[in-house]
Structure 1
Amino acid sequence: MADLDEFQLLERAINIFQEQFESEASYAACAPGRVNLIGEHTDYNDGFVFPIAIPQVTMVVGRPNSDQMIRVFTAVTEVDHPFLVRFPVPTATSKLAPGSPTWANYVKGVVSLYPGTLSGFDMVIVSSVPLGGGLSSSASLEVATFTLMQSMFPCQVSDKEKALICQKAEHTFAGMPCGIMDQFISSMGSKDHALLIDCESMESKQVQLRLPRQSLLIINCNVKHQLSGSEYPSRRQSCIDAASLLQVKSLRYADQTMLEAHKNDMSDETYRRSRHVISEIERTREAVIAFENGDLAKFGKLMVASHNSLRDDFEVSCPELDSLVEIAMSVSGVYGSRMTGGGFGGCTITLCETSSLEQLMAEVKQRYDGTATFIHASAAAGAHSIVLPNQD
């Protein structure tokens, strides 16, 4: 459903709601996925990230019901069964707990942490954000769910607070110790702008995307990744261990000289993990300055350097992603290309001349061993509610 626009997704969600619950949805909300232009695995190290929200969204529709049960149906068929879950509205004495199916834990976490007063409701989920593509389908579901609940059960919460609550939901219910980037950009994205996020201070800066003759292309290698396993947490722990050894709050406060001085005090793996983070934080700073100055050639070189570091030092790439980057960089008019997201599959993001798009896609179709899919990326708006004709 990646090719369905927001209106088509809404129409589909409304129809499914009618079928499942034999009533009309009265509220709707959506939240976008994201693609990160540069700054990977820096967010949980208090570093900088530079994502955009993409037009692909998770759409949710709902209606309060007359009992104290929450019923949620997902039309996303790639998730684990069952597609319909029921659970009680949490209370002070009866709290929710994660369980099966795993997709429902993202919803349960948001419901459990919601700061407003809840009653029962029914909800349907549809999405155009590819699952397992590193485009943050999970954060878009969390933020969309929260935004829908804000419409049904109003409470005064800032976009930043919303993002932090959704991040906590992913930590506590989905078991994924993610940084703040995904929830921030899904909540706070702005059309035609990237968002530079300082993941320590939680301050952000909108940076206008000035690409008059250039385009951003997301290429999905269609290798699915699963970040709730050991790979992501183990890398995060390596960063924590290195910061402790270097006696700094986080790797944001380390530099290459400091790291080299302690190289013999840590394992080669921890050293390389740390080298990636330290260099990636600096690359992100440089890349944003280059972008603001219109130096797309430098920005592209920094994208490639980021990918190489993720491949060699942080070891979160895979042969399919490496192949897509190699193919892209062989095409005239391409400035830079890199894997994006947590890694172990998913997508690349490529900056190129718009006139080179067709050749780029043709080269990938011809030379890539798998079956790649393409998404033309543009910076979209963040989460928002949608007024339905029969809204209460």
Structure 2
Amino acid sequence: MAGLEDCCEREAEVIARAPGRLEVLGGHTDYNEGFVLAVATEQATTVAVAARDDHLIRAWTDCDESEADFDIRRLDQGPWGRWWDYLAGVASELMAEGCPVVGADVAIASDLPIAGGVSSSAAIEVASALAFSTLAGCAIEPEALALLCQRAESDYVGMHCGIMDQFASIFGRAGHAMWLDCRTRERRMVPMRSTDARFVVCDTKKPRELVESAYNERREECERAAALLGAAALRDVDEAMLAERAGVLDETLLRRARHVVTENARVQAGVEALEAGDMPLLGELLSASHVSLRDDYEVSCEELEAMRDAALSQPGCFGARLFGAGFGGCVLALVEATAVDDFAAQVAGRYQAQTGLQPHIFATALKSFFCSWFSFTP
């Protein structure tokens, strides 16, 4: 990574690292207090910091040529609609919790696709929170740290996300998927027993700006649907209840609710498929999830459909779905391990020919997700 030595000729005092996440199942269920199934990625964001003798945060990243420069005493002037809003939001939340954040020079490096649905935002939040808190001498429990980072993104940045991304980044473990109850925050690590398949991330290179997209609108629609159904959240609605009370919802709210209800059921079935090593069943669940996200939740787009169609056309693909917020970003495919190389080449060629965009496609073995985070002072 381009470290502080390259940016400002300083040595790092703290280095922190946090991975992104792959949402296996559970699209848009987290902010509905539902269930999710996610894994931490091999790809990650690394944040190196060194204290300054003033109140400025000066930050550089290898993902953007612009330099951040803001005063931690003036965080109410943000957000600015730039990548450093995540740093400012984390600093704001840390200080609200009594952590004496100090000015710092910050260097950030990441091999996560930006705005691709792999939670690059959660990774920078978690890594910067670890770095800033360690530099300030504050010890924060992992769950409290995850919730703090979620508040930074929701309350400061303005993207009203759930807790899945931050929890997956912090609690992800090698060889396991994380099942998370987003209401109680109960979590369970589910062993991924099959070594015969890989998750393949297919980045469409169609970016989306979450805050400016329909993401927040979807959340508001779900809240209205739950209220009309007499439920605290859509997590409390099952298919029988939805069918019985469907008449109180208009067509749009019915589709939104139907997606959340059926997606929660798919998460539970996905846990069973992973535990059994049943990759064909898991692939079917991924594909069913995509159809629901496309037709009922309406968060797909032309590029995501082209990528998924290309994936499903290839031998050895068990299933594929858009993941993350949608409106662009990535498709997750489950592919036989022996077919991955041909799959990537064929999908990339077909997608580029159809859209004119050059995709980024990479695979990860089911057993190779590892370490959620670490930090140290050299």
**TM-score normalised to structure 2 length:** 0.93
1:382 aligns with 2:372: yes
CA distance in 2, matches of 1:156, 1:205: 24
Unaligned runs of at least 5 residues, structure 1: 1-8
Residue of 38, 42, 45 corresponding to 2:29 = 42
Q: Cα deviation per residue 1:270-324 (whole Å; 9 max; x = unaligned)? A: 1101100000001111111121122221111111000000011001011221222
CA distance in 1, matches of 2:115, 2:102: 32
The 5 A counterparts of 1:38-187 are 38-77=25-64, 82-87=66-71, 89-90=72-73, 96-100=76-80, 102-114=82-94, 115=97, 116-187=99-170
The secondary structure found in structure 2 opposite 1:177 is: coil
The 5 A counterparts of 1:217-232 are 217-232=200-215
The 5 A counterparts of 1:257-276 are 257-276=240-259
1:315 aligns with 2:295: no
Letter in 2 for 1:69: L
CA distance in 2, matches of 1:366, 1:138: 29
* Contact 2:201 2:363 (C-alpha < 8 Å) held by counterparts: yes
The secondary structure found in structure 1 opposite 2:147 is: helix
1:20 aligns with 2:7: yes
Counterpart residue number, 1:5: none
Q: Cα offset for 1:386? A: 3.9
Letter in 1 for 2:40: A
Q: Cα offset for 1:20? A: 3.2
Spell out structure 1 runs of 4+ moving beyond 3 A. Answer: 94-97
The secondary structure found in structure 1 opposite 2:102 is: coil
* Contact 2:344 2:362 (C-alpha < 8 Å) held by counterparts: no
Count of residue pairs the alignment pairs up: 368
Q: Cα deviation per residue 1:137-167 (whole Å; 9 max; x = unaligned)? A: 1111110101112321222311111000000
1:372 aligns with 2:348: no
Letter in 1 for 2:146: A
CA RMSD of aligned residues (A): 1.6
**TM-score normalised to structure 1 length:** 0.90
Q: Cα offset for 1:95? A: 5.4
Letter in 1 for 2:84: A
Counterpart residue number, 1:4: none
Residues 324 and 154 (structure 1 numbering): CA distance in 2 closer, same or farther, change over 3 Å?
A: same
The 5 A counterparts of 1:183-262 are 183-262=166-245
Q: Cα offset for 1:103? A: 1.4
CA distance in 1, matches of 2:349, 2:151: 43
* Contact 2:32 2:235 (C-alpha < 8 Å) held by counterparts: yes
Residues 101 and 323 (structure 1 numbering): CA distance in 2 closer, same or farther, change over 3 Å?
A: closer
Q: Cα offset for 1:85? A: 1.2
1:303 aligns with 2:290: no
Q: Cα deviation per residue 1:156-208 (whole Å; 9 max; x = unaligned)? A: 31111100000001112110100000111111111221111110111111112
- Once the two structures are overlaid, the 10-residue window that deviates more, 318-327 or 240-249, is 318-327
- Once the two structures are overlaid, the 10-residue window that deviates more, 225-234 or 242-251, is 225-234
- Once the two structures are overlaid, the 10-residue window that deviates more, 187-196 or 364-373, is 364-373
Q: Cα deviation per residue 1:11-39 (whole Å; 9 max; x = unaligned)? A: x2x2xx22433322221111111111111
* Contact 2:310 2:347 (C-alpha < 8 Å) held by counterparts: yes
The secondary structure found in structure 2 opposite 1:130 is: coil
CA distance in 1, matches of 2:29, 2:193: 25
Counterpart residue number, 1:6: none
CA distance in 2, matches of 1:181, 1:298: 23
Unaligned runs of at least 5 residues, structure 2: none
Letter in 2 for 1:111: A
CA distance in 2, matches of 1:331, 1:73: 40
- Once the two structures are overlaid, the 10-residue window that deviates more, 253-262 or 95-104, is 95-104
The secondary structure found in structure 1 opposite 2:170 is: helix
